[in-house]
Every structure is written in structure tokens, then in C-alpha cells.
Amino acid sequence: MDWKPHAAALAAKVTHPESAWWGPIRQTPRHVLVERWFTPDAQGWTAFHGPSDEGMWADAAYSDTTLVTRVGPVHADLAALGKPVTGLPTSSSTLPSLVVTMLEHGRLTAGVRLLDLATGSGYSAALACHRLGDGLVTTLDVDPYLTEAAADRLDRIGLHPTVVTADAGSELPGTFDRIVSMVSMPRIPASWLTALAPGGRLVTTITGTGLIITADKTDDGGAAGRVEWDRASFMTTRTSDDYPPGLSGLFTTASTEEGDVSVSPFPVLNVMQAWEVWSMLSLAAPGIEHRTGTGEDGSRMAWMLHPDGSWARARTAPGDRTTTVHQGGPRRLYDVLEAIRWRWLEHGELPVYGARATISPDGTTTFSRGGWTATL
């Protein structure tokens, strides 16, 4: 494949000639790092083999698109072609513009030691190697197949970072000036702060939110920074081959039980499309699983499910603006959402983006802005 014109076009799309990442994107043959990937269809996810159609391979690899490379425990490299796989995506080659955004937040300068968390296909490590040099880049993933495959493919394109198989939440393999995570974390592990050199900087996203956290290490061993104004969402960290099963049993309950009934003045909201609301709700009640749908009569439906057994079902009938809400379990999840939506209307914004982030040495993180605080 004559990949260089494709890589040049990708660089022109996601960055600019004055950027430090212009050269690395042009120099990285992303297609070598992603030979197979999954595409969604009615039956689930079907693996596509790039070398069998170089035109489609080039279009996919050099588009600003996330390519899903693993579903449940099955990697696309090992999936039977033409045989759909069901499950949730568990690894991917993240869209290049977002990779660049995260690396830019890391403020990588000559001589800094980088830990790239969540190796995936190896693309972020490849860009970092072009920027810093192989000897200053360590990349880590929990999945031994991913690290082995990425190391082999990086070697094929002449790049040799240190590749480590380990849990991102456990002890880290060294001391680093920058830690940039391409996987979301429920909270910032104390091990990251231990591994961060004095004056070092960490960049991560928080699970269940669209929040990018940047923070610089402080003298007490913690860190201080902010929630950036731009947004991102990554797959959450995992410690095994797959994520825990979803809340299908609770979904059945939430779809059939009467529960406590109320009427909301607001129409049903697809929470995960409303980034501010979704992020603030996830800080207030972490772990909610959201589902949406359409009723037989065309009504808009939404469900909120929580591992503690709390649930909510909301329905806005065609032509209506109000919503009928059913709730059950130990907490009233929809009431938490309603309070956030009222605050949104009253203030014209929510305080999550731009909030100050203060991280203690044990990883406890407090966000604050305009009198609002939340702690992880």
C-alpha cells in the first residue's frame, strides 16, 4: 500500500503544519497497526481483514475514526471472518484527533519520560516515539495479546518503546515525567502519583464522564489541575478479559415494575448525548447504566439502572413535553437527574467543565467550581 499520501491527508485533517504532531502522524503507517477491526451490524460485530481490500483498509486506517479491535474477549485478529461476535468493545485504535488531544494535554517536551496507558493498537505509542524517541516511551496494557501484537507491529515500522503488560491501577513500572491515559479510570490511583516524578503531569479521563483531567504533581505527593474545557470519553479500565455483565435482569424489572410514579416537566433526555449533564450525573451517582428506546406508539423511552438495584424508567408520549417516570430500588436516580437539569436551566451551565481538580496522595480527587464540589 502507498500509505504516505493517506497519512498526509490524515495529518491535514487532525492537526496543522506548525503542530509538533504533524510530522508523527505523517510518519506513522496506522494500517500496519490495525490489520483487522470489527464493524457493527445487525448480528453484532463482524471482523474485517484489511489486506483483503486495500482500498477499504486505507479508508478505515487513515480516517479520523475509532476502529474497534476487540469485542468481549475476542480480538479481531483472532475472530473468524464473516462470523459475528456479540458483546461490548474492549479495545480499539482510538480516533487520531483524540489521541493527539490527549498527548497535547500532556505537554510533551524533549527529554520527558512518558507512560502511555492502554497500548491498544500501539498508535499513541507510535506517535510518542516519533516525538520523544523510543527510549523515553513506555506503553502499558492489561491484555498480553494486545501488548505482544502491538510490540511486533511497532517493531515492523521501526519503533521500539518499552511495552509492559500490567494493570493500569496497580504499581507502575518506573518513574515518569508524564502519564497520559487512553483508558478511563473510576478514580486516579495512588500508584500514578507515586510513579509521577516531581513536577510531572498526568492526563486522564474519568469513567462514565466526558471529563479530561490534567494535573501537575505537588510537593505533598498529590497533584493539582483542572477539568479541561474540551471533552473525551474512553473505554473504562478493566482487570480481566471482559467487562462485568450488564444489568439485564434489573432492566427487566425496570421495564415491568410500577415503582414510585411521578411526572417530570422535562421531556426524556438521552443523557449520554448531553455531555455536561452526563458527566455531572456520573459524579453524583457513579455506575449508572443508561438505555434508550422507542415505544410501539413512537414514545421516547429512557432507563437508568444501577448495580445497587436502583432503577428508573421514563416515557415521553408523542406530542407531549412532560414525562411519566417510574422509579424503584434504594435510590431515586431520576430525582438526581432532575436536580441537575434544574440547575442547568437556572444557571445556564453546569460547573463540571473548567472545575479545579485537587488530588491527594492517596488519589482522592475533589472537583470544585463556583461553590460546587464533588469528590471521588
Question: pLDDT 10s digit of each residue in the chain, 376 long?
Answer: 899 999 999 999 999 999 999 999 999 999 999 999 999 988 899 999 999 999 999 999 999 999 999 999 999 999 999 899 998 899 999 999 999 999 999 999 999 999 999 999 999 999 999 999 999 999 999 999 999 999 999 999 999 999 999 999 999 999 999 999 999 999 999 999 999 999 999 999 999 999 999 999 999 999 999 999 999 988 887 766 667 778 989 999 999 999 999 999 999 999 999 999 999 999 999 999 999 999 999 999 999 999 999 999 999 999 999 999 999 999 999 999 999 999 999 999 999 999 999 999 999 999 999 999 999 9
Report the domain count for the chain: 2
In the chain, the amino acid numbered 161 is: P
Distance between CA atoms of residues 96 and 126, nearest Å = 12
Residue 361 backbone dihedrals phi, psi, to 5 degrees: -60, -25
Whether residues 202 and 258 fall in one domain? no
Beta-bridge partners for 181: 117
The reported pLDDT for the residue numbered 35 is 96
Report yes or no on 308 lying in a domain: yes
Whether residues 155 and 11 fall in one domain? yes
Report yes or no on 358 lying in a domain: no
Whether residues 261 and 154 fall in one domain? no
The reported pLDDT for the residue numbered 233 is 86
CA distances from 246 to 82, 144, 243 (A): 26, 25, 8
The reported pLDDT for the residue numbered 240 is 66
Report yes or no on 375 lying in a domain: no
Whether residues 197 and 257 fall in one domain? no
Tell which of 231, 259, 283 closes a domain.
231
Q: What is the CATH number of the domain that holds 145?
A: 3.40.50.150
Report yes or no on 355 lying in a domain: no
Q: What is the CATH number of the domain that holds 306?
A: 3.30.160.690
Tell which of 172, 203, 231 closes a domain.
231
Residue 267 backbone dihedrals phi, psi, to 5 degrees: -70, 165
Whether residues 221 and 252 fall in one domain? no
Angle formed by the axes of helices 4-14 and 96-105, to 10°?
60
Per the CB < 8 A criterion, the answer to whether 140 and 168 are in contact is yes
Whole-model pTM?
0.94
Q: Pinpoint the alpha helices (H) of the chain.
A: 4-14, 22-27, 30-33, 54-61, 96-105, 123-132, 144-156, 190-195, 248-256, 275-284, 333-347
Q: Which grid coordinates belong to 214?
A: 490534567
Report yes or no on 59 lying in a domain: yes
The reported pLDDT for the residue numbered 340 is 97
Whether residues 9 and 59 fall in one domain? yes
Distance between CA atoms of residues 337 and 176, nearest Å = 39
Report yes or no on 129 lying in a domain: yes
Whether residues 79 and 219 fall in one domain? yes
Q: Cell 497500548 identifies what position?
A: 119
The set of residues, in sequence order, having a beta carbon less than 8 Å from that of 210 and lying 6+ positions away, is 231, 232, 233, 275, 278, 279
Q: Rounded to a whole number, what is the largest CA-CA distance in the chain?
A: 62
Domain that holds residue 306: 248-347
Whether residues 199 and 339 fall in one domain? no
Whether residues 261 and 226 fall in one domain? no
Long-range contacts of 312-319 (CB under 8 A, 24+ apart): 312/254, 312/337, 313/254, 313/255, 313/259, 314/264, 314/268, 315/268, 316/267, 316/268
User: What secondary structure letter does DSSP report for 15?
Assistant: S
